[in-house]
């Protein structure tokens, strides 16, 4: 299967929902002869939207991998979902490609997810092209939209073609790089656009620019060569116009993708090897470096791991290294993917994308080969539901199904709360959670009951405290005895643990134990054998049990340091169980003395609404204890409000925003930090926790 690296083009087609991405990819597949027929999203016959939920909702839910050829280049096109709730699929897809084709609905304009994918692609150093779709719509205002694109994404965005005619009179597109002799009907001045495009392109090369201003105009071939350099440097973003429905601008789009998009050799990628950073070369004879960027489990419960090869060659039935594994992993059969269909191939070289079936060692983000590729950073899901099966006896089936979903989508988290015995499902939004429920019912035949969103509050302390607990129990035979004395201190996020642990407050420091997940540090300063060393692990277990179960509201504890400085044991009655219980009790009692508070998760929100609705948004956020951080023009009469708000106040924000803006508003949110809950809110949470505990 291995192809020449320079002939490969890997492109993620992304943007906001309803921009026509899937229809465009379907059309390009048919146009290049990669598939036959007339695939259609509305009819449920799309090559990319083949999942049952996608057919039902008529929009993409998962990233779909497809391939085609044009003018000697092999394209891998990854169609990605457009809704912000499903951004995890797009983020994974962007790791597998070298370019992003960002679709903008010619009628609806730039939406919140358009900005998000633009930034994600830029952060990864990918080549970016903007594609204005649906230019056959009567309401398209191309001059206005072009101006907005320049305002939002920068002056380096230039039209590479322009529609000839509008609405029903649309008859084609005219190149602004190599203008035709007849540009009648063009909706904008082609000569003016040509001058702007050329002047932007030649900024890539000082020598060419100097000659240009001396009167020497570069040839079209030179301009396209410079355009590719500009795309690679981020100093140029071509903007093209298409109507997939009418097959207008699509040939020109394919030609452009062939000419100016980046090959795998045009982007430098690095990895870690033995702690050092190494640069990877797209050389088929080099050591293997590859990464899983997407996982899918099909209706027949066949796990597919989608792999992008960066360097070296991956071969069928090879045994390859995976970082962290002691023995090599057998690859098995490699598969080339076209939507839901696969075909076997023997090998894959640099830049190629293949899938491996039924391999439990592979997970999204896992590297193959001797090097460790950078991890894929997915946003933290923040909207949770407690779930349980409707039918008794389906607990095991539900657990298995949920973990399959989490394997497919890293923005789905599943956690079992040991204290409440609840399974907590966390996703990006209400819509995301609804789609998960539908998939459980359709694919796994499991129906679930859901409860109010579970907000992941945390507990911590604000001041120092100290105390002790003596556990003593006598019941005829051997008894239990343990006494543990501790001091407790606040441990702010971001504290340098090494420096903190060697401060003067621990002059007799013996051991340091740090648990990063809870930002929990405990230190052993016991001297003189007051507590025998063999009981220290039991003390740690007692602390961790209380950290997990909480003290004041049953929420996890974080940002705490505990010093064990004294204790007593009994030569006969002391044992590990006694010291574990004494440590847990001592922790709880001292925690209560240290001015305990609840912390709540805060989220950063980017809310894009019509400018007339900014006042409504501001008033609503104030009622949710939110704080506006900033505000920017989003172009096209839209404004983006940046705000910080407690997660508990915005779990159902989508409904409110839609109501306020008549469906025109959109937003994204991501975890920011934990902050102390106001006193009145904390009192209410504690009261509810007490009622729940009494009921149980």
Query: Do the strands 8-15 and 99-105 form a parallel or antiparallel pair, or are they unpaired?
Result: parallel
Q: What is the pLDDT of residues 176-223, one digit of tens each?
A: 999 999 999 999 999 999 999 999 999 999 999 999 999 998 999 999
CA distances 482 to 415, 543, 568, 591, 613, Å, are 33, 14, 6, 19, 63
Q: Which fold has domain 5-266?
A: Rossmann fold (3.40.50)
| Strand runs labelled E in 234-275 | 237-241, 269-273
467 has pLDDT over 70: yes
CATH fit for domain 463-594, picks 3.40.50.1010, 3.40.1380.10, 3.30.230.10, 3.30.450.40: 3.30.230.10
For the structural domain made of 599-681, what CATH number should be given? 3.30.70.240
Q: What is the mean pLDDT of residues 471-500?
A: 88
The mean predicted confidence, pLDDT, of the chain is 92
Task: Judge whether residue 393 has pLDDT over 90.
Answer: no
* 551 DSSP 8-state letter: S
The answer to whether 605 and 643 are in contact (CB under 8 A) is: yes
The tens digit of pLDDT for each residue in 511-547 reads 888 998 899 999 999 988 899 999 999 999 999 999 9
Q: What is the number of other CB atoms lying within 10 angstroms of the CB of residue 260? A: 24
Q: Does position 151 have pLDDT exceeding 80, yes or no?
A: yes
Spell out the CATH class of 383-454: alpha beta
pLDDT one-digit tens code per residue, 53-84: 899 999 999 999 999 999 999 999 999 999 88
Predicted confidence band of residue 1 (pLDDT cuts 50, 70, 90): very low
For 247, the 3-state DSSP assignment is coil
Q: Which residues contact 221 (CB under 8 A, 6 or more apart)?
A: none
Give yes or no on whether 383-454 and 599-681 have one common fold.
Answer: yes
pLDDT digits (tens, 9 = 90+) for 325-361: 778 899 999 999 999 999 999 999 999 999 999 998 8
pLDDT over 60 at 696, yes or no: no
Question: Distance between CA atoms of 500 and 452, rounded to whole angstroms?
Answer: 40
How far, in Å, CA of 571 to CA of 538, rounded?
16
Q: What is the full DSSP assignment across 673-694?
A: EEEEPPHHHHHHHHHHHHHHHH
Class of domain 270-321+344-369: mainly beta
- 674 burial (CB, 10 Å; 0-12 / 13-18 / 19+) is buried
Q: What is the mean pLDDT of residues 108-132?
A: 93
Would you list the domain boundaries of the chain? Answer: 5-266, 270-321+344-369, 383-454, 463-594, 599-681
Query: Rounded to the nearest 5°, which phi and psi values hold at 148?
Result: -65, -40
């Amino acid at each position: 299967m291995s192809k020449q690296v320079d002939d490969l083009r890997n492109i993620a087609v992304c943007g906001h929902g309803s921009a026509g991405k899937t229809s465009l990819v379907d059309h390009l597949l048919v146009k290049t002869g990669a598939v036959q027929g007339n695939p259609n999203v509305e009819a449920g016959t799309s090559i990319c939207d083949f999942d049952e939920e996608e057919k039902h909702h008529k929009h993409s839910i998962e990233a779909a991998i497809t391939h085609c050829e044009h003018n000697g280049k092999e394209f891998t096109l990854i169609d990605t979902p457009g809704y912000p709730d499903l951004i995890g699929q797009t983020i994974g897809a962007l790791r597998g490609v070298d370019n992003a084709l960002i679709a903008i609905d010619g009628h609806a304009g730039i939406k919140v997810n358009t900005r998000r994918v633009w930034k994600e692609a830029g952060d990864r150093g990918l080549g970016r092209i903007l594609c204005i779709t649906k230019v056959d719509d009567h309401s398209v205002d191309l001059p206005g939209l072009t101006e907005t694109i320049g305002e939002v994404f920068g002056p380096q965005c230039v039209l590479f073609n322009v529609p000839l005619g509008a609405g029903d009179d649309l008859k084609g597109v005219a190149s602004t790089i190599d203008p035709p002799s007849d540009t009648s009907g063009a909706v904008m001045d082609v000569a003016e656009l040509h001058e702007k495009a050329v002047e932007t392109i030649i900024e890539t090369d000082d020598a060419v620019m100097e000659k240009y201003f001396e009167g020497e105009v570069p040839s079209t071939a030179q301009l396209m060569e410079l355009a590719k350099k500009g795309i690679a440097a981020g100093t140029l973003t071509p903007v093209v116009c298409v109507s997939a429905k009418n097959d207008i601008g699509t040939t020109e789009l394919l030609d452009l993708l062939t000419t100016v998009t980046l090959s795998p050799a045009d982007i430098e990628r690095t990895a870690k090897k033995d702690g050092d950073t190494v640069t990877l070369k797209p050389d088929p004879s080099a050591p293997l470096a590859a990464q899983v960027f997407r996982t899918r489990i099909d209706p027949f419960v066949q796990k597919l791991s989608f792999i992008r090869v960066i360097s070296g060659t991956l071969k069928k039935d090879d045994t390859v290294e995976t970082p962290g594994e002691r023995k090599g992993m057998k690859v098995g059969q490699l598969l080339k993917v076209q939507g839901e269909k696969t075909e076997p191939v023997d090998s894959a070289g640099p830049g190629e994308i293949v899938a491996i079936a039924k391999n439990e060692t592979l997970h999204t983000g896992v590297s193959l080969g001797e090097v460790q590729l950078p991890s894929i950073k997915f946003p933290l899901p923040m909207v949770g539901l407690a779930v349980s099966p409707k039918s008794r006896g389906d607990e095991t089936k539900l657990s298995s199904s949920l973990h399959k979903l989490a394997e497919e989508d890293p923005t789905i988290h599943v956690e079992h709360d040991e204290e409440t015995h609840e399974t907590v499902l966390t996703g990006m939004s209400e819509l995301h959670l609804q789609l998960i429920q539908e998939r459980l019912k359709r694919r796994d035949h499991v129906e679930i009951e859901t409860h109010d969103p579970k907000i992941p509050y945390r507990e911590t302390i604000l001041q120092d405290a100290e105390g002790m607990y003596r556990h003593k129990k006598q019941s005829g035979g051997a008894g239990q005895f343990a006494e543990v004395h501790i001091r407790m201190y606040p441990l702010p996020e971001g504290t340098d643990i090494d420096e903190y642990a060697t401060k003067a407050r621990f002059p007799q420091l013996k051991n340091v134990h740090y648990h990063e997940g809870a930002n929990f540090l405990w230190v052993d300063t016991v001297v003189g054998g007051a507590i025998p060393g063999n009981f220290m692990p039991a003390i740690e277990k007692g602390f961790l049990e209380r950290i997990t179960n909480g003290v004041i509201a049953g929420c996890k504890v974080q940002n705490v340091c505990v010093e064990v400085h004294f204790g007593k044991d009994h030569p006969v009655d002391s044992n590990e169980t006694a010291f574990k219980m004494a440590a847990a009790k001592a922790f709880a009692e001292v925690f209560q003395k240290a001015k305990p508070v609840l912390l709540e998760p805060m989220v950063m929100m980017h809310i894009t609404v019509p400018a007339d609705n900014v006042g409504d948004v501001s008033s609503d956020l104030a009622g949710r204890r939110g704080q506006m951080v900033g505000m920017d023009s989003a172009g096209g009469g839209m404004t983006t409000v940046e705000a910080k708000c407690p997660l508990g106040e915005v779990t159902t924000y989508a409904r409110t925003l839609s109501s306020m803006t008549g469906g025109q508003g959109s937003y994204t949110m991501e975890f920011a930090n934990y902050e102390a809950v106001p006193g009145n809110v904390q009192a209410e949470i504690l009261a509810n926790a007490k009622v729940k505990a009494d009921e149980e």
